[in-house]
Structure 1
Amino acid sequence: MKSAILALAGALALMPAAVQADTLVEVESARVKEGVPLPTFKADASWPALPDDLILGQVPGLAVAKDDTVWVLTRPNSLNPTEAGLDRDPPLTVACCKSPPHVLQFDREGTLLRAWGGPELAPGESTVTGEGREAVEEGDEQWPANVHGLFVDEAGTVWIGGNGGGDHVVLNFTPDGKFIRQIGRRQMTEGNLSESYLGNPADIAHDGKSVLVADGYTNTRVIAFASEDLSFEQLWGAYGTEPGSGTRGGAFDQSMATSTAEGAPDPQAGDFEPMVHCVVRGPENTVYVCDRRNNRVQVFREGPEGIEFLENVVIAPETGGTRTASDVAFSPDGTYVYVADMMNGRVWILTRADHEIVGWFGRNGRYPGQFIWLHSVDVDSEGNVYTTEVNTGRRVQRFVFQGYED
């Protein structure tokens, strides 16, 4: 197996604090509920400090590890030759840029510490003929054709999913990119009741006891596996019931993310829609699941008897297009919930005790502090918020916590 690890520790100098302060940008925001302290933020226009020859493609995954390093998942295959001309042989440019590996680790200041990823690190081997929807793959390559979802657990191991053609697999790696194990298998899916195979998983959460998968772009469910041996534990659909909405037929492509052919959002629907987009463990044994197409987050509690449905949290219910409820994160003390809203280009701020919206920040746009296809959100131990964008957004941003507005 060839090594695809790019060691970049110490390659970039840290930015002095005085310079960093000059790069903080005001962010559009608003208060929705009075009488509750509102967290406030500024965007850090200097973050991250990529090497001079790299350019980011789509960024579909984000995780802040327990040491406050920031991991991002990129799609180098989303870059075209005019953006990444150094990838060509011979190069198409005498200047920047080349595409990065799939997995990047930054320190909190934005220095790139580690980068790796690609088929060389996963089991199997395949040959692809044709392009786009006409592409045909032969073989058993396990690295996803289109990565989606990233999680870094307490032990520092990295979990990756995929939502491209046949990407019915979750892979687990060491921090340096050495393959450990996998759930499911590419090119194999058996529907919502399968206890072994997945259907285009979107997100992962591992607490050392069990692995939760938002199984999510073909299937419409959450499924849990035992941490030790990845044996099946349980699965559920909306409201904690057996998944009943069927599966998506054929391969997913991004045009489906904005399609209304499958109907308008229904925050009271009895089933999850395709694109069960996140699964995030919260305080007090809670589990938050993003039902993106229905503009809602469903909240559950894990217990000895299984999963218990607690609450429907509805986010901008009238929104169409790419919809809302893309990802969820929590303030360090667990007081606030942050919900990434893809279509409206906002991060909604809710109080976790009652899930009422108290405010928001961000808007659609391409300047610092704005979003295009806002995809993921996470928070570090100091309350700074990180976000990623896909499609034509193609970036990761850092929002520096400024304190509370009374």
Structure 2
Amino acid sequence: MSWAQKSGRRAAGRCILSSVVVATVLVTASAASLPAQAGDIPTFQVDPSWPKQLPNNWIIGQIGGITVDWQGHIWVIQRPRSLSEAEKAATLTPPRAKCCVPAPPVLEFDVDGNLLRSWGGPGEGYEWVGREHGIEVDDRGFVWIGGNADNDSAILKFTLDGKYLGQIGKIAPRTDSNDTTQLGKPAEIAIDKGANELYVADGYGNRRVIVFDATTLAYKRHWGAYGNKPNDDKQPPYDPAAPVQQQFGNPVHCIKIAGDGLVYVCDRSQNRVQVFRKDGTFVKEWFYEKNSRGDGAVFDLALWPDPKQTYLLNADGTNNEIRVIRRDDGSVVGTFGHSGRNAGQFALLHAMAVDKLGNVYTGEVEGKRIQKFKLTSDALK
């Protein structure tokens, strides 16, 4: 029985966890594309008309997260406080220019780029995050928001219209990677609808995946890399020639749950995707662009919306590209994107989401923009 299984049973005896331990499988994926039918592989073209001009003279800052809800609407969390004085010149006293004014942190768009809803920031009865990071919308109509400033040790819960409903943790200094009452600069959230559980990639401060009941917000279980008990021991800088770390690095940057029950986690700075069962049992890992240093190559993942979820898309903010990965073996079958500021290029690609039509939506930090890429192949037919 894995450490995560034992921990989950102690913390939430009502949870039924598998006792089967899967042998560790290490799969290192090269950048070379493997043979595949061209029409089956997702390919894309940027839609420069998306989104439409924002109202109220608004402008967006760094993109902290992006997701697609059950209606096919695109939700973005952005960082108004990241805008320079020149970018928000209309708010200065006296105004320096006609444009612009910071948009609210949370923005909801339709597939055509129309703004449907906007809200966020400090409010009565709760403390807003210090730096916006991560957004998830479940099909019950709840919006979950995280942050990665020093004191962002919480996940906040809202209605679709921005009414505060509750939170996990609190806005306060983090403690450690085994504290079940506090988070540590959480990066991303995923919802397991069937089990009514909320999974958190936790995060920029902690080195773990942690799971909560999505209704009561009670702690269920947590685990680190390879299903190990996480710790906060100092790690050396990433070295592609060194033995792989047995703990996650910082940040644990994304989490996605496939329909077959596999859980995919971005260990960003160590250029790897680790795959688990829902009970924390380690299954396998894949490395991408292992020589990438600094911010790393594995920023975000998105599951392809065909019935088998045949592919994963991997957003790489260091190399500013999106790779198409075959989900069964981790092989790369295509890439698109390039560093730059033109339409279809990326300036620190940070977050990504895919809708049911195969449209890809991206958010950048340095570029301070969101983009849409339309599917141009028959990958959903």
TM-score of the two chains, using structure 2 as the length reference:
0.86
1:241 is aligned to 2:228: yes
Match of residue 401 from structure 1: 375
Match of residue 69 from structure 1: 73
Distance 2:124 2:246 in 1: 40
Match of residue 33 from structure 1: 34
Alignment check: 8 A CA contact 2:107 2:118 kept: yes
**Partner deviation per Cα, 1:179-198 (whole Å, 9 max, x = no partner):** 01101111142201111111
**Partner deviation per Cα, 1:269-303 (whole Å, 9 max, x = no partner):** 2110010001111220111110001000111111x
CA deviation after TM superposition for structure 1 residue 404, in Å: 3.9
Among 58, 63, 71, which residue is 1:59 paired with? 63
Distance 1:229 1:216 in 2: 22
Match of residue 118 from structure 1: 121
Give runs of aligned pairs for residues 215-364 of structure 1, distance below 5 A.
215-246=202-233, 262-264=237-239, 268-302=244-278, 306-333=279-306, 334-364=309-339
Distance 2:185 2:120 in 1: 19
Match of residue 14 from structure 1: none
CA deviation after TM superposition for structure 1 residue 331, in Å: 1.2
Alignment check: 8 A CA contact 1:274 1:293 kept: yes
Among 143, 147, 151, which residue is 2:128 paired with? 143
Alignment check: 8 A CA contact 2:150 2:173 kept: no
1:177 is aligned to 2:162: yes
Instruction: Give the direction of change, closer, same or farther, for the CA distance of 1:113–1:193 in structure 2 (3 Å limit).
Output: same
**Partner deviation per Cα, 1:74-112 (whole Å, 9 max, x = no partner):** 00000012111122344222x221110000000000000
Instruction: Give the direction of change, closer, same or farther, for the CA distance of 1:192–1:38 in structure 2 (3 Å limit).
Output: same
Distance 1:199 1:47 in 2: 34
1:378 is aligned to 2:353: yes
Instruction: Give the direction of change, closer, same or farther, for the CA distance of 1:246–1:155 in structure 2 (3 Å limit).
Output: farther
Match of residue 9 from structure 2: none
Moved over 6 A (4+): none
Instruction: Give the direction of change, closer, same or farther, for the CA distance of 1:103–1:241 in structure 2 (3 Å limit).
Output: same
Alignment check: 8 A CA contact 2:176 2:232 kept: no
Distance 2:243 2:67 in 1: 27
Among 185, 198, 207, which residue is 2:192 paired with? 207
CA deviation after TM superposition for structure 1 residue 56, in Å: 1.5
CA deviation after TM superposition for structure 1 residue 245, in Å: 4.1
Q: How many residues align?
A: 341
Alignment check: 8 A CA contact 2:250 2:269 kept: yes
**Partner deviation per Cα, 1:34-67 (whole Å, 9 max, x = no partner):** 2343211100111101325121110110010111
Among 162, 168, 175, which residue is 1:190 paired with? 175
Range with bigger deviation, 112-121 or 97-106: 112-121
User: SS at the partner of 1:239?
Assistant: helix
Partner letter of residue 184 of structure 1? G
Distance 2:201 2:77 in 1: 17
Among 21, 46, 51, which residue is 1:48 paired with? 51
Match of residue 18 from structure 1: none
Alignment check: 8 A CA contact 1:213 1:222 kept: yes
TM-score of the two chains, using structure 1 as the length reference:
0.80
Alignment check: 8 A CA contact 1:45 1:368 kept: yes
Distance 1:331 1:273 in 2: 26
Distance 1:244 1:355 in 2: 28
Alignment check: 8 A CA contact 1:122 1:143 kept: no
Distance 2:267 2:294 in 1: 14
Alignment check: 8 A CA contact 1:31 1:360 kept: no
1:80 is aligned to 2:59: no
Distance 1:90 1:46 in 2: 33
User: SS at the partner of 1:150?
Assistant: strand
Among 387, 390, 395, which residue is 2:362 paired with? 387
Alignment check: 8 A CA contact 2:89 2:96 kept: yes
Match of residue 91 from structure 1: 95
Among 324, 327, 340, which residue is 1:365 paired with? 340
**Partner deviation per Cα, 1:215-260 (whole Å, 9 max, x = no partner):** 1111111111112211111010001111134379xxxxxxxxxxxx
CA deviation after TM superposition for structure 1 residue 157, in Å: 1.2
User: SS at the partner of 1:353?
Assistant: coil
Alignment check: 8 A CA contact 2:352 2:363 kept: yes
Distance 1:271 1:186 in 2: 25
Relative contact order, higher structure (CA 8 A, sep 6+): 2
Alignment check: 8 A CA contact 2:269 2:294 kept: no
Distance 1:346 1:171 in 2: 31
Distance 2:372 2:359 in 1: 7
